[in-house]
Chains A and B, each alone.
Chain A
Amino acid sequence: ETGVTQSPTHLIKTRGQQVTLRCSSQSGHNTVSWYQQALGQGPQFIFQYYREEENGRGNFPPRFSGLQFPNYSSELNVNALELDDSALYLCASSLATGTDTQYFGPGTRLTVL
C-alpha cells in the first residue's frame, strides 16, 4: 500500500510568482486536506477536498486555491506569492471527512525570495 506522496520536495520562487504543489493520496482515500506549517509553528488548515469538491476552508486568502482529481490526487495553487508564504506545505489524506485519521505526506518546502 502506497502512502501519501507529495511533489516537489523543495521549491524556490520569487515574490509575485505562482506555484502548484501536488499530492497523491493513500490508496482508497477520497479526502485530502492541505496544511501550511511555518517555521517553528504547528500546521494550519488551508482547505479540504472531498470527492473533487472543496469541503471547508481555513483562514487563508482566495489566492490559495486547490483541485482534486477523479483519482483523488490533489493540487494546491498559490498565486501572487508573498514572502510569508514560505513554509512547509503538508498534504493529508483520509478515508472520509469528519474524524477519520489523517495520514500525512512528507511535505513540500516552499521558499519565497
Chain B
Amino acid sequence: AQSVTQLGSHVSVSEGALVLLRCNYSSSVPPYLFWYVQYPNQGLQLLLKYTSAATLVKGINGFEAEFKKSETSFHLTKPSAHMRDAAEYFCAVTQNYGGSQGNLIFGKGTKLSVKP
C-alpha cells in the first residue's frame, strides 16, 4: 500500500531564509509524486509533479523538489522564503501503472509560517 509521511506539521522560517519541507513516500510500484499548496479557505494548487522524467523538478513560485529513490524522499525546497509563501503544503503520491485510477494519497500537510 502507498503512503506519504510529511515530517513536521509546522515549519517556521524567516523571510529570505531557505525553505525545506520534508516528504517520504512508500510505494511498491514506481510512483508519481506531487506537491500541492493550500492557502487559507481555498482549494489545492499544484506546485510541481514528478513523473520519472527528471529527478529534479522545478515548479511554480520558485519551488523545486528532488526525487531520491534510495531515500524514498521528495523534499520541497525554495532558496528564499517570501511572506506570500505562508500556507499549508501537501505531498501526495499516486500509482504509476496502466489501469491505475490515479487517486492521490496525501500526507497530513505541513503548515509553513514566514516571519518578517
Contacts of A56 in B (CB 8 A): 101, 103
Interchain pairs with CB closer than 8 A, number: 68
* Complex interface: chain B residues within 8 A of A55 (CB): 101
8 pairs across A/B with beta carbons < 8 Å? A4-B43, A42-B109, A43-B106, A48-B103, A90-B44, A97-B102, A98-B102, A107-B42
Complexed CA–CA distance, A71 and B7 (Å): 41
Inter-subunit contact B106/A102 (CB<8 Å): no
What size tier do the contact residues of chain B reach?
20 to 34
The reply on A68 being an interface residue by CB < 8 A is: no
Could you tell me if B42 and A45 are in contact, using CB atoms closer than 8 angstroms?
no
Query: How far apart are the CA atoms of A4 and B42 in the complex, in Å?
Result: 12
Q: State how many angstroms separate the Cβ of A24 from the closest Cβ of chain B.
A: 13
Chain B hits for A90, CB < 8 A: 43-44
The interface bits of chain A over 56-69 (1 if a CB of B lies within 8 angstroms of the residue's CB, else 0) are 10100000000000
A84 interface hit (Cβ, 8 Å): no
Q: Which residues of A contact B108 (CB under 8 A)?
A: 40-42
Chain A residue with minimal CB distance to B108? A42
Separation of A66 and B43 alpha carbons in the complex (Å): 20
Q: With a CB–CB cut-off of 8 A, which chain B residues contact A104?
A: 36, 43-45
Q: Which B residues lie within 8 Å of A40 (CB)?
A: 108-109
The number of chain A residues touching the other chain, given as a range, is 20 to 34
- Interface positions, chain A 79-113, Cβ under 8 Å from B, are 90, 92, 94, 97-107
Footprint of B on A, CB under 8 Å?
Answer: 4, 6, 33, 35, 40-45, 48, 50, 55-56, 58, 90, 92, 94, 97-107
Residues of B within 8 A of A106 (CB): 42-43
What is the chain A residue whose CB lies nearest that of B46?
A101
Tell me, in angstroms, the Cα distance from A56 to B102 when the chains sit together.
9
Q: In the complex the two chains form, what is the Cα distance from A90 to B42 in whole Å?
A: 10
Q: Is B28's CB within 8 Å of the partner chain A?
A: no
- Report yes or no: B101 in contact with A101, Cβ–Cβ below 8 A: no
- Whether the pair B90, A100 counts as a contact (CB closer than 8 A) is no
With A41-B109, A44-B106 as given contacts, are A98 and B49 in contact (CB-CB < 8 Å)?
no
